[in-house]
Structure 1
Amino acid sequence: MRKHERAVPERTALPPVVDRATFDADLNHLRAREKAHTREGDEITAQRKRLPMVEVDASIPVTGPDGPVTLLEAFEGRTQLLAYYYMWHTGHPAEEQCQGCTWCTGQVQEISYLHSRDITFAVFAQGPYAESRAYRDFMGWTMPWYSGVGSLERLLVGRNIGQMYLISYVRQGDRVFETYWTTMRGVEVMDNNYALMDLTVYGRQEPFEDSPDGWPKQWATEDPVLPKVIDGRPIAQWSRIEAGRLTS
């Protein structure tokens, strides 16, 4: 086992074993709730589309690879923009950067589908451009990357700077409007691993989950809020280190 891999104890707690007919009956009962949940999600999405919007100054600058650009230019000519506000610890090494932001951002890789629907996805780091961009390159990410330093008070008006946010914008000509924002567990929409974990019998193995007695909670000891670290590093960093990438 590699040093950075986590030891997995032998599992002893398991669901009861039943015949196929009993299994199918219980699964069908759950399936009815799943379908209701899906329909409720569709209704929430429909309500989200009907929210009012607030105008944002389209000239607010963010810093990109060629220097300052406007919020409007970050749309890259598309009608909609999804901006992820990446938490950043200025001056800290890669292993001390936000594990939750690393977890979510690293899973937004194929953005051509968003582009096909006239949507641009970009990261607005809450730290200096050169420093945060070096982290982006170390992680091997390819999405557009900007720094919001100097403009965060205007971009995140009324919200706490230093917290993760996913914000939806739309433009009409040269005018920009904010239509929705979410934070904390709301940004899990960027993630597919949690959704896959939720389909398994042991789930995420995190403290908040409602699991039967004896179910493993292997991720209760590293960090009670964002347990996504092994040996002091965000999990996704280890494959990059093994590939020989430098962290600075």
Structure 2
Amino acid sequence: MTAQALPPVVDAETWQRRLDELRAREKQATRQLDAVAARRRRMPMVEMPGYTLEGEEGPVELADVFGDKSQLIVYHHMWFPGEKWQCPGCTGFTSQFTRLGFLDGYDARFVVVTQGPIDEALTYKRRVGNRMTWYSTANSPFGAAVGAPAGGGFAVNVFLRDGRKVYRTWHTDGRGTEQLGHTFGLIDVLPYGRQEQWQDSPEGWPQSPTYSRWAGSEDIAARYGPDGGTA
């Protein structure tokens, strides 16, 4: 099937020259991201109270969510009370993390925290085939204190533990979370990119309403869930 619009066809020398020009800008962006990461490593931190979350085996103090690690990344999964299918963006984003053992070498752990009750959250985790460890902050002010209140959006927070003391070191939300996953990186190198209307694309490029190409939560359950999303 022929696409509605195609990039112009050029000779190999012209293509290489255009690639070299683009590569120079890509390298500038990489160096800028390195500079941002360096700035992040110089951020101060704030001490956290002794919050208690709910885990699969019962109440867990925040310091124990780290396990035997000193660094913790928390993804705050949006939650809609009473709904069978939760936020497709959060569901899709967290479904990509199936092998997190590489973080062991960096003394770090990555978990999901949601405002949903722990029993409902674990049921949803199984339904969609999520492989991460989940905790609930439904009975704790922890979520609200770190930018992820009940009824709020998704967010990411990072913490550092020194003994039993826990410190908050970083926070982001919205498109700031993209840097933590691989999905958009893969899509952005495709000739047509994300194909969303807000993007700057050549005339005639396929474009759709924002989010319309994202997999729904039911689709994710059908792909990864143990029961095909029928639970």
TM-score for the superposition, normalised by structure 2: 0.92
Deviation per residue, 1:39-83 (Å, 9 max, x gap): 1100100000101111101x2011001111111110002000001
Q: For the residues of structure 2 that align with 1:202 and 1:143, how far apart are their CA atoms?
A: 31
The one-letter code sitting in structure 1 at the alignment partner of 2:105 is S
Task: Give 2:97's aligned residue.
Answer: 108
**Alpha-carbon offset, residue 136 of structure 1:** 0.7
The one-letter code sitting in structure 2 at the alignment partner of 1:238 is A
SS in 1 for 2:145: coil
Task: Give 1:121's aligned residue.
Answer: 110
Conserved? CA contact 1:228–1:235, under 8 Å? no
Task: Give 1:173's aligned residue.
Answer: 163
Task: Give 1:63's aligned residue.
Answer: 54
Task: Give 2:45's aligned residue.
Answer: 53
**Alpha-carbon offset, residue 172 of structure 1:** 0.7
**Alpha-carbon offset, residue 133 of structure 1:** 0.8
SS in 1 for 2:156: strand
Structure 1 portions without partners, runs of 5+ = 1-8
Residue 25 of structure 2 is aligned to residue 33 of structure 1: yes
**Alpha-carbon offset, residue 228 of structure 1:** 4.9
Q: When the two structures are aligned, how many residues end up with a matched partner? A: 229
TM-score for the superposition, normalised by structure 1: 0.86
Task: Give 1:227's aligned residue.
Answer: 212
The one-letter code sitting in structure 2 at the alignment partner of 1:142 is R
Which aligned pairs between 1:1-248 and structure 2 lie closer than 5 A? 10-57=2-49, 59-94=50-85, 97-151=86-140, 153-157=141-145, 159=147, 161=149, 162-218=152-208, 220=209, 224=210, 226-229=211-214, 233-240=217-224, 244-248=227-231
**Alpha-carbon offset, residue 190 of structure 1:** 3.1
Conserved? CA contact 1:80–1:170, under 8 Å? yes
In structure 2, relative to structure 1, the CA distance for the partners of 1:124 and 1:117 (3 Å cut) is: same
**Alpha-carbon offset, residue 229 of structure 1:** 4.7
The one-letter code sitting in structure 2 at the alignment partner of 1:71 is L
Deviation per residue, 1:133-179 (Å, 9 max, x gap): 1111122222211001122x344327352210110000111100000
- RMSD of equivalent CA atoms: 1.9
In structure 2, relative to structure 1, the CA distance for the partners of 1:229 and 1:45 (3 Å cut) is: closer
SS in 2 for 1:156: helix
Q: For the residues of structure 1 that align with 2:153 and 2:185, how far apart are their CA atoms?
A: 23
Q: For the residues of structure 2 that align with 1:26 and 1:38, how far apart are their CA atoms?
A: 18
Structure 2 portions without partners, runs of 5+ = none
Q: Aligned residues: percent identity?
A: 36
In structure 2, relative to structure 1, the CA distance for the partners of 1:177 and 1:31 (3 Å cut) is: same
In structure 2, relative to structure 1, the CA distance for the partners of 1:150 and 1:234 (3 Å cut) is: same
SS in 2 for 1:81: strand
